[in-house]
Amino acid sequence: MKTKGWKNIFAFTFLQQIKTKSFIISTTVIAIIVALIAATVNILPAILLEDELTKIEDTLEGDTEAFTVEKLYIANETPLDLKFTFTTATMGITPEKIDSSAVEAKINELAETTENAMLAHITMTDGYLSIDSYYSGTNSTIDESDCNSVLNLMSTQLDIQYLSSLGLNADQMSTVVKGVSTSLLQAGDEPVSLVDELVNMLVPMIASLILFIFIFSYSQMVAQSIAIEKSSRIMEYLLTSVSPLSIIIGKILAMCSVSLMQFLIFVAAGAVGFLASMPFGIFAKIDDIVSAVSESGVGIEAQNVINDIMSAFSSVNIGTLVILIITFILGFLVYALIAGLAGASISKMEDLSAAIQPMSIIGVLGFYLAYMPQIGNTDGESNPIAIIARYIPISSPFCLPSAYMLGQMTLVEVIIALAILLACVIALALIVAKVYEHIILHTGDRLKLSDMLKMSENKKKTESK
């Protein structure tokens, strides 16, 4: 069997590769960096929103001292009999009704007072309700965000009471209170938030860069490994036990596994970093934030940050991961097969950089095809170059997964692109299988592709004689 022994070559190459100091150090360092980045995504918002989170905590614990609004004056000019509830468990505010004629005087009083107080002036004009509110001046220690929380809560309760007075039941009120979401877009455009804009541009750029680094560097190692065996003449010894085809299969699969393993280590490090940071991160407080927002209106900002982060990762799922892994493997095979030929075409290590130069040009070209169209592409629109790059085998490994993740490609389009990539792998594998065994023991000057094919043809003719 022509492929006998490939498993031994695979196992040896894999083990030796993961035992090298460079692999251990680079994997450890990068995994730590990835874990720190993942932890930062969790911890940083918690640090930036520390004051708000403290208030959420205090609010839920009924700690009214931390809540700076101590007094609430309500001037109701509407015909409604309004009642606002601020429980001790939430804010502990005791509202005090005042006459609407005293509003001006109260505003002046608030401007000078040291008391942390708020005035809510509720009016109704042509059936429209409004709350104009004022809070104590600079002599007080009142916090504007606390006033906003009170206002949010009052607004919600006012809506409910008004709708109730109109005769709506609980479900109807719930529907109305949720409000009507509005947006203004030019026809043909998709709605894009700031987070979406960043995701649209940065995810494809970062993904193509990471995939390029992994695929390209490990492919080069295939060339290097074969060149070492050729230049040190180990190859001759190996060929008494295994075929050239077994050697290249074992090596390519080993390098592919090493790179994939390293990639998954980084993914796991990210997950560990995120989970380990939970006690200190914003996601640990997600339940508290939701409760606080619904109960008292405190924590709106924190909830928005969480929603933004979750929205950015919403398209990461098992399907995306499977497509990422398949693309990674096929992309790696394209470059590793080219690298295998490059490594076999030389007999001296000093010729290696020259031998892999054509592969470097192809790789860099493929990378730029995938990377450049994403610069400034914040709206997720696919320009023609980006679309073409997703189907060209030298560039598709670097851009296909992110395009699918961001919804820029349908599943059918992904399957077509993968089929093209697979066809390229098969074609390259056939060329390598045909040429490799004829050039593996070549010594002397570096071979060009035309020389390799010529040698292969000559051998074929000889064999058929």
Partner 1 sequence: MSLTVQNLSKSFNGHVAVKDLSFELTKPGVFAFLGTNGAGKSTSIRMILNMLKKDSGTVLWKGRELNVLEENIGYLSEERGLYPKYNVLEQMYYFASLKGLKKSEAKQSIDYLFDRLKINEYRKKNAEQLSKGNQQKVQLAAALIGNPEMLILDEPLSGLDPVNADLFKDIIREQRDLGKYIIMSSHQMQTIEEFCEDLVLLHRGEVVLQGNLNEIKKSYGRVNLSVKADSEFLDIAEECGLTVVQHTPNGTDFKVNNEAQAQELLKKMLEKNINVVTFDLREPSLHELFVEKCGGDAVTESEVGANEN
How far is C-alpha 111 from the geometric centre of its chain's CA atoms? 48
Q: How far is the CB of 3 from partner 1 (least distance, A)?
A: 11
Site for partner 1 in 382-411 (CB under 8 A): none
189 binds partner 1 (CB under 8 A): no
Asked if 4 touches partner 1 (CB under 8 A), the answer is yes
241 binds partner 1 per the rule CB under 8 A: yes
Task: Name, in order, each residue with C-beta under 8 angstroms of 139's C-beta and a sequence gap of 6 or more.
Answer: 112, 113, 114
Contacting residue, 90, 149, 200, 243, with partner 1 by CB under 8 A: 243
Q: Which stretch binds partner 1 (CB under 8 A): 78-86, 93-101, 144-152, 239-247?
A: 239-247
Q: Can residue 234 be called a binding residue for partner 1 (CB under 8 A)?
A: yes
By rule CB under 8 A, what string of x and - marks binding of each residue 280-319 to partner 1?
----------------------------------------
- Whether the CB-CB separation of 27 and 239 falls below 8 Å is answered with no
Residue 8 or 85: which CB sits closer to partner 1?
8
Q: Would you give the distance in Å from CA 378 to the centre of its chain?
A: 15
Give the list of residues 6+ apart from residue 432 with CB closer than 8 angstroms, or none.
248, 337, 340, 341
Q: Does 121 interact with partner 1 (rule: CB under 8 A)?
A: no
CB of 263 to partner 1, least distance (A): 24
Which residue number, 349 or 419, has a Cβ lying nearer to partner 1?
349
Angle at 210 between CA 207 and CA 213, to 5 degrees: 145
Closer CB to partner 1, 198 or 234, in the complex = 234
In degrees to the nearest 10, what's the CA dihedral of 288, 290, 295, 297?
Answer: 110
C-alpha 57/C-alpha 72 separation (Å) is 22
d(Cα 465, Cα 447) in Å, to the nearest integer? 25
CB nearer to partner 1: pick between 346 and 424: 346
Question: Among 238, 258, 337, 369, which residue interacts with partner 1 (rule: CB under 8 A)?
Answer: 238
Nearest to 130 by CA among 94, 166, 154, 104: 154
Q: Is 236 in the site for partner 1 (CB under 8 A)?
A: yes
175 contacts: CB under 8 Å, gap ≥ 6: none
Among 9, 302, 370, 394, binds partner 1 (CB under 8 A): 9
- Between the CA of residue 288 and those of 52, 55, 121, 293, what are the distances in Å? 12, 11, 31, 8
Closest distance to partner 1 from the beta carbon of 451 (Å): 10
Q: Rounded to whole angstroms, what are the CA distances from 218 to 62, 260, 349?
A: 58, 10, 17
Q: How far is the CB of 432 from partner 1 (least distance, A)?
A: 17
For the bound state, the minimum distance from the C-beta of residue 441 to partner 1, rounded and expressed in Å, comes to: 6
Q: Judged by CB under 8 A, does residue 80 bind partner 1?
A: no
Alpha helices in 313-372 (DSSP H): 318-344, 352-355, 357-371
Compute the distance between CA of residue 195 and CA of residue 45 in angstroms, rounded to an integer: 15
Q: What is the contact mask toward partner 1 in residues 417 to 456, using x (rule: CB under 8 A)?
A: ---------------------x--xxxxx-----------
* Residues 314, 377: Cα–Cα separation, whole Å: 20
From 237, 310, 314, 383, residue interacting with partner 1 (rule: CB under 8 A): 237
- Return the residues of window 202-231 that contact partner 1 according to CB under 8 A: 228-229, 231
Length, in residues, of the chain: 465
Query: From the CB of 383, what's the least distance to partner 1, in Å?
Result: 46
Which positions lie near partner 1, rule CB under 8 A?
4-5, 8-9, 11-12, 16, 20, 228-229, 231-234, 236-243, 438, 441-445, 459, 462-463, 465
